[in-house]
Structure 1
Amino acid sequence: MLWAAFLGQALFFVATYLFINQYPWLLLAAGVSFNGVIGYLIHQRSKQLQNADRSLEQGLLSLMDSDFSVSIPTAKDGNRDAIFDLFNRCTDKLRKERQHLYQREMLLDKVLNTSPVVTFLVDINQRIIFANRAAELMFNHGNSILGYSWSDVCAKLAPDFVQALQQSGESIFTLKNAQGEEQAWHLAKSGVRIHQANNTLYLLKSITNELNRQEVQTWKKVIRVISHELNNSIAPISSMCHSGQLLAKNLDEPRLDRVFSSISRRVDHLNEFIKGYGALSKLKMPDKRVIDWQVLLEQISALYTFNLVTDIPKTDVYADEHQIEQVLINILKNAHEAYSESESMGEVCLAISEQSQGGIGIEISDNGPGMAAEVLENALLPFYSTKHSGTGLGLALCREIIEAHQGKLSFYNRKSGGLTVRIFLPAQLL
């Protein structure tokens, strides 16, 4: 078998040699064709690699330009498809991360611009590089202050305000607003490093309302303690007074009966006094509904007359009608009493108007003597009263009701004489 294999191979080589000697041009043609095919395949492969390199280069340039929407198609027939697939997964992850960051930035921007805290950022060159809506309202009437020089902004502020802003860390200071009211502010000033640059962050928060709430809560605690102690004493005094009156009848002594009757009346008066302050310390939360101003004003006018000098606005205000009625009655009562004290003739005027910040403004004005500076400062405090028989409860209760509605109550002496009481009620349902 072995010799047959060798014989077959020998015959094959001999035949090949004779064929080549007889047809040499056929071998040349075969060689040229083979070289052409090999060259074409090499050219095509080189072109594919160049296209792949160009796609990868363009993709990387797009990433440098923060364009994460680019992707490279994979043909699944080359050694670089794994790299392209990894590139596409990276761009997809970067795209999702950027979308997530964008949503967080939008949320942060929304929160900052709706926050009442005045927030602005000053760079190392003393230029304002960020300011929220509250800062624009405070420093530039609601217009943008981005790019403004901080020194130029400070030049338009009151000296006391500028001095307060120059303090480091946290501080509390007071300023007077356009109406001359003292407003308390909390300032937080700190350094912030952004993109390797040092900046200064300012946070300004009005704490006047918070201080007022804390003050009212303190008064409520005091009133509850006093009421408790007085009730503990009044109950046995009232019982003993009643027993004394019964004994006085048996003794047939008129003077004792007058004494016990006087004690009984004073005890009843003290009970009413305590109940009044209990109303302040236990004021219910407002039951807010749309107020029908026409009906409400007609009901109030039956008790205290006034001249309505404006049309009733159409803006819906959600409030507790009974509590607002109590406030208006109390203020109108004070206005009418101011006439009797000054012995002047005039009428009480009431105006209701829509406010630019949304909501309703109510003004009640009289032509009385007005309020002294000390009275204006303390008028809203419980226990404070200039009337001989006053309890100092009425205006304090009015303030508590208005602030429970997220509103504001204030007093101003009129230049022409008399007093104006202003009430602001927000229109939104809370």
Structure 2
Amino acid sequence: MSKYFSLEGRILAFSILALAIAAGLPWLLSLIGLDARLSWTLGLILGICTLISLIRLALKPLTSTLKSLQGGLLNFRDGDFSISLVSPRDTELSKITNLYNDIGEHLRRERAHIYQRELLLDTVIQSSTQALILVDQSDHIIYSNSSAKKLLNGGKPIQGLLLQKLLPNSPKEIASAIQNWDNGLFNYTDKYGSHSMHIGNSTFVLNAHKHRLIVMREMTKELTKAEVEVWRKVIRLISHELNNSLAPISSLAHSGKMLIAKPDKAAALGKVFDIIAERCKHLTEFTQGYASFAKLPPPSCELVSWQELVERIAPLQEFILKGELPERPGYFDPVQIEQALLNLIKNSREAGSGSNDIELSIHTDGLGQQLVIADRGCGMSEKVLQQALLPFFSTKEQGVGLGLALCREIVDAHGGHIQLMNRNGGGLQISLWLPWEQET
């Protein structure tokens, strides 16, 4: 019967059958001589019992289907989409189970698609040369790639470790930048040589919890390639400048030679020599700027009083001395370090920082000496920050791009390193770190 009638039809049929029993039974009982009132009572009770039994029988497929749906939905909640329901013979109920099965199949395909995308993304991240670390709000590392493991822990797994416990195994410059949430370009040295690393920090909220993403990009090869391109550009620039001056000088020299034979042209001859002298002066000034960078002599290190260094710089550039000067004298080439500090203070002023916002601080410890110039100028964009130390790179209209590059050469010649980072609240901070003794 359930095959041919809907649930509502079966309940209606069973109700009519129960009413027929309840109405016909008293008549049958009266034929055998029972009291009419008793007959009607027995008939009503039997009819109600029959109706309840038949309704339960009619609702059995519905109850079974609801239990199956409940179990399936619990599986959905637990992330299990593999269970399919058997469709009952009832047409209406089969529509529900078929809809459930279709949703389960859709969810299975979606999860498989998401899994494949996550697998592809993880493969790309793991093969990336950039080191990535994801840290939760309790400072535990919840994700990292192969480059991060190699950089910070010698290739060993770091997932689940506390970031603070991992940093002592890392290069000290990188560890300090990560610990202080610094963004910028940092130099460090290991057994493989000198490296330049760009570090960026960002935060985001995931599942109502704050997370920190640290991205570290090795810039050594990029800087080397960029330097080669810069040198090519400089060669073209010098060649162009020389041609612009030598061609007219050659022409004027020829004209002067012809004027010598004409005594009445002495005034014109003097003008020719004046133009030649002017062009020669221009070439001399042009080449001297590059010579100061290309012919930097090796540093002649000596013990230097910090107070004397500050007093020599103060009349030339205005700045604020922050903190106390170290008692232990510095050890470096005073002329070169003085030139580096003057260049940095000059850059800070040209970047829009007032003299009262340019700070010089000096710190020493058992490992080395650190000189820090901090300003409140316009700072640097990420792109500029990555190229700021390249020779001849400049964002100034009339700049030649030698100031920061010369500072880098001076610090490298001392065996130290230079670090650039934007400050919170605006401005730039440049740190010069020098060892006590130059490596040979």
TM-score by length of structure 1 reads 0.47
Q: Which has the higher contact order (CA 8 A, sep 6+)?
A: 2
